[in-house]
Amino acid sequence: MSPSCDQRHQFLTSYLINDSIAIDAGSLGISLDLAAQRKVKHVLLSHTHVDHTAALPMFLENSIDMAGTRVTIHGSDVVLDSLRQHVFNGCVWPDLVHEKLNSRPFFNLATLEAGRSLEIAGVRITPIAVHHKVPTMGFMLEEGDAAVILSIDTGPTEELWRRANALRRVDAVFLEATFPNSMDDLAQMTKHLTPRLFAQEVQKLSHPAKIIAIHIKPTCYEEVVAELQALGLPDLEIGLPGKEYCFV
């Protein structure tokens, strides 16, 4: 990142949970120092788009631990097949899926199934299918009494909100707002949200929660933020890359 780069702009997408779990790997291999990258042992991929996977190969290279725990990459069958075919194919990047280091795989692959929860380092994670241009998961994250919803790339969706409303509480929702209202056609075509659609999605949540807008197109940033703020939502925040959020 150059010094002139606007720190508000989110070009690539990764979310770090409690230092050891990452949701998406768009920036994972380039935005954390080596020590921080080597603490990450689980990466869950929402979908295959490159803004969510771009730095996965760099991350894996940086996180190789000859003697220690291998990283596990979690994704749907579609995501894992795509990694095998289009990333670790011996052309774009070495075939680390099949090659071994000291007779052990470079990393583990684990299948995510929509609606099936898994527990990692004390965090209960439930992937939920959302509506995007390719098969995509949103995530419910629960730890202790706290619950956070992370819906990174999606158009209007239902199941995620139904499952969120069944929780005892929701502390925060990270929800995408990619395009301005003037690009409604493009949002519908690519299955993303505009501020108008964002407001409709937020209304589907029955819990009071902090709403954090993410995944705003850098080229439309000011327009999207102005439209989001004009919604008058009481607990809306514009997500800031690099910011640490705490919910207990």
Contacts with Zn ion by CB under 5 A lie at 49, 51, 153
Comparison of 152 and 172: residue with beta carbon closer to Zn ion: 152
d(CA 219, CA 241): 16
Instruction: Provide, rounded to whole angstroms, the least separation between the CB of residue 134 and Zn ion.
Output: 7
Given the complex with Zn ion, which of 71 and 193 has the nearer CB atom?
Answer: 193
Candidates 235, 176, 146; CA nearest to 51 is 176
For the four alpha carbons of 207, 246, 243 and 83, in that order, the dihedral sign comes to negative
Element (H, E) at 137: strand 136-143
Q: Which residue is nearest to Zn ion (CB)?
A: 49
Using CB atoms within 10 Å of the CB of residue 237, give its burial: 0 to 12 exposed, 13 to 18 middle, 19+ buried: middle
Q: C-beta of 75: minimal distance to Zn ion in Å?
A: 14
DSSP 19-55: TTEEE--SSHHHHS-HHHHTT--EEE-S---GGGTTT
Least distance CB 191 / Zn ion (angstroms): 8
**Strand partners of residue 146:** 143
How many Cα neighbours within 13 Å face the side chain of 87? 18
> Please, what is the minimum distance in Å from the beta carbon of residue 50 to Zn ion?
9
Contact 173, 161 (CB under 8 A): no
Q: Which is nearer to Zn ion, 147 or 193 (CB)?
A: 193
What is the smallest separation between the CB atom of 15 and Zn ion, expressed in angstroms?
12
- Shortest distance in whole angstroms from residue 49 CB to Zn ion: 3
Nearer to Zn ion, 51 or 237 (CB): 51
Tell me whether residue 42 or residue 49 sits nearer to Zn ion (CB atom).
49
Minimum CB distance to Zn ion smaller for 48 or for 126? 48
CB atoms within 10 A of CB 85: 10
Q: Which is nearer to Zn ion, 127 or 142 (CB)?
A: 127
Q: How many Cα neighbours within 13 Å face the side chain of 112?
A: 31
Q: Tell me the closest approach of the beta carbon of residue 122 to Zn ion, in angstroms.
A: 28
The token duo for 154 is 């999606």
